[in-house]
Amino acid sequence: MQKDSELSGCKITAEFSTRRLRLRAWRDADFLPFAAMNADPRVMQFFPQTLNAEQSDAMATKIQQHIRQHGWGFWAIELPQVDDFIGFVGLDHPQHILPFSPCTEIGWRLAARHWGQGYASEAAAEVLRLAFQVLRLKEVVSFTSVLNLRSQAVMQRIGMQHRGEFFPHPGVPEESALRAHILYRISQSEWVKTSTSD
């Protein structure tokens, strides 16, 4: 099981690239396009509500500070020559105590105009490589509303497995249809197998 202390001593470079994307630390200029994303009902369809500018800025500040402090987190994604900020993909320790805590999650949120291009999966595959090769995590999890099939498709594309685990997310109101969550996992040894079989 992953412990916070396993990550606390790890500092990794906060910026790196994939074939089409740059993953980097957050700039203050990212806050405005992030607020526009968080106000978009398509992007927030599987969250209890959209965020107003103040809530969005608070989330961005938290993410920005986390990367400054640890060198890893929910990286800002840039599409070089096209768009300076299209969303985030990265790692986090969930703020709620969950049935499988402690854990490290991989998560993503992109502006809707950039869906359907494979960007989330491309960034997430590189984040998993960092998680296992650089941070040397034993396991990474991901979870979302059972209704969020687009997000589950990303989990499947990067080799994560769902083994029948579901849980009610404590941060979602009990009466909400979004409370039922599905859990995916990938261990370091599973990742080694999938990444060497490519």
Ligand X SMILES: CC(C)(COP(=O)(O)OP(=O)(O)OC[C@H]1O[C@@H](n2cnc3c(N)ncnc32)[C@H](O)[C@@H]1OP(=O)(O)O)[C@@H](O)C(=O)NCCC(=O)NCCS
Q: Tell the smallest beta-carbon distance from residue 9 to ligand X (Å).
A: 28
Which single residue brings its beta carbon nearest to ligand X? 118
Burial class of residue 194 in the structure, from the number of CB atoms within 10 Å of its CB (0-12 exposed, 13-18 middle, 19+ buried): middle
Q: Which is nearer to ligand X, 16 or 115 (CB)?
A: 115
Q: Tell the smallest beta-carbon distance from residue 56 to ligand X (Å).
A: 13
Q: Tell the smallest beta-carbon distance from residue 88 to ligand X (Å).
A: 9
| Interacting residue ranges for ligand X, rule: CB under 6 A | 43, 46, 107-110, 115-121, 144, 148, 150-151, 154, 157
Is the torsion defined by CA of 48, 168, 151, 139 positive or negative? positive
How many residues are recorded in the chain?
Answer: 198
Q: How far apart are CA 152 and CA 97, in angstroms?
A: 21
Q: How far apart are CA 173 and CA 31, in angstroms?
A: 27
Do 151 and 46 meet the contact criterion of CB atoms below 8 Å apart? yes
In which element (H, E) is residue 187 found?
A: strand 180-187
Q: Which is nearer to ligand X, 2 or 151 (CB)?
A: 151
Q: Tell the smallest beta-carbon distance from residue 148 to ligand X (Å).
A: 5
Q: Which is nearer to ligand X, 154 or 183 (CB)?
A: 154
Most distant CA atoms of the chain, gap in Å = 45
Q: Which is nearer to ligand X, 71 or 150 (CB)?
A: 150
Q: Tell the smallest beta-carbon distance from residue 98 to ligand X (Å).
A: 13
Q: Which is nearer to ligand X, 7 or 125 (CB)?
A: 125
